[in-house]
Every structure is written in C-alpha cells, then in structure tokens.
Structure 1
Amino acid sequence: MASPTVRVEPSGIVFEAEPGEAVMHAAVRQGYRWPTLCHGEGSCTICHFEVIGEAAGLAPPSSAESDSLRNCGASQWCAGELRLACQARVLGDVVVRKKGVRPLDTPGGARR
C-alpha cells in the first residue's frame, strides 16, 4: 500500500507521509524546510497552513491545536480550514496551501 501524499501549493512540492505522521515532520524528514519558530511544539502557529478541498486526509484537530489556531487570528484572512503542520496528522492524501516550504538545499532553505 502506498504512503499518503501531501501536495503543497503554490510551490507544487509533493512528499509522502507515514500514516499518523505530522505534516511538518514528514516534510522535514524528506528534506524540506517548513516555516516554524517553535520546531513542532505547537506554540508559535507559524507553521499553519490552509487545507485546499477536503480535509479527509487529516486526522481531526486536537483541542490544543484548535485553541492555538483560534488564538492566533489567522482565520481572519483565510477562507479554508486552517491547521498546524506540526500537529496535523496525515491519514490520506491531502492538498495544502503554505508559502515558504522549500527544499533544504536551495538558497534560503537552510535550517536556522
């Protein structure tokens, strides 16, 4: 059985994720930089992304993720469902919108 895929727009980057793996962790494991300051702790909310289309490929958000998103105010400019890449668990194929995701070996892609 093939692993679920995550497609990131507008870059068109596609990577595989293990079922139950966080979106950001799958991206980093496969050599991509995902914008973050807290590196997966769920506190900065910079890793948030917009789900394009159905969110069926993601596990439902935890109460902690929902609280963080509600408090960050990002939903004011976003029409779709917002999720945190460090918290959203992949269950199946999903398409997301997030600027700044890029391979680690490109200019500006190095980890900080």
Structure 2
Amino acid sequence: MPGGEIRVTVEPAGVTLTCLPDETMMQCATRHGMHWPTICRGAAQCSACRFEILEGEENFADEPPAEQALFRAVARVGASGNRVRFGCCAQPTGRATVLCRRARFLTEDKPAA
C-alpha cells in the first residue's frame, strides 16, 4: 500500500498491528511484543506459524519460494474455507484481518491502535 499504513488486525487477540513494508507477519507481531507461534524460528520449515486470512487476501504479497515449498505439505485452505498463509513468509501490503489462535502478547501491554 504505497504511502499508506499497513494495518493488520490479529484475531482472536483483537489487536491491530501496523506493519512495515517488506515485513512478514511474524516480524511485525514480534516487533509489537507479540509471540507468533514457531518451531523453526522463522526458517520456513515447520508451518507452526500458519494463519488464516479472514479479510484482505488481496493485501498480501505473492508467496515467496520458501512459502510455496511449505504448501507442498500443508493445505492452502483451512478447515473453515479461509486462505492459509505462513507468518514467517507472508508480507501484508494493506489492510487485512487474520486469525492466528496461538498468537498472543507475552505481557498485558498491547500496542495502541
């Protein structure tokens, strides 16, 4: 989203994060003090960081090769029918709402909306 803020709401946490250009969901969440689930620490090997896109699927960059490789082992669509992406790879480019049930804040402090 050239010249605009990249704002992503993470559910069920109910928090809206402002992401930087070329930043992945995991990087954005971590920068805001949120734990984003991972086993491989963002190396695109475990798929623990997966999330569903509830709104704004068009506001994510195309899948990089590492994410495409993960999709060989994991379905592209969740049980709910929503599009699945991986937090270590997916780069938001505009407004979106995502569902990552295991994303949470490590403290009670949440970023101001």
Q: Is contact 2:76-2:85 (8 Å) kept?
A: no
Q: Cα RMSD (Å) of the superposition?
A: 1.8
Aligned to 1:42: 44
Which runs of 5 or more structure 2 residues have no equivalent in the other structure? 109-113
* Consecutive aligned runs of 4 or more in structure 1 exceeding 6 Å deviation: none
Among all aligned residue pairs of Structure 1 and Structure 2, give the percentage whose two residues are the same amino acid.
29
Letter in 1 for 2:32: Q
How many angstroms does 1:56 deviate by?
Answer: 1.8
Does the 8 Å CA contact 2:76/2:83 hold for their aligned counterparts?
no
User: Letter of the aligned partner of 1:57 in structure 2?
Assistant: N
1:37-65 CA distance string (max 9 Å, x none): 11110100000001113312210112331
Report the equivalent of 1:87: 89
Q: What's the TM-score once normalised by structure 2's chain length? A: 0.83
The equivalent of 1:67 in structure 2 is: 69
Unaligned runs of 5+ in 1: 107-112
Equivalent of 1:32, from 15, 23, 34? 34
Aligned length: 106
* Cα deviation, residue 103, structure 1: 1.1
Return the TM-score normalized by structure 1: 0.84
Q: 1:36 to 1:53 in 2, by over 3 A?
A: same
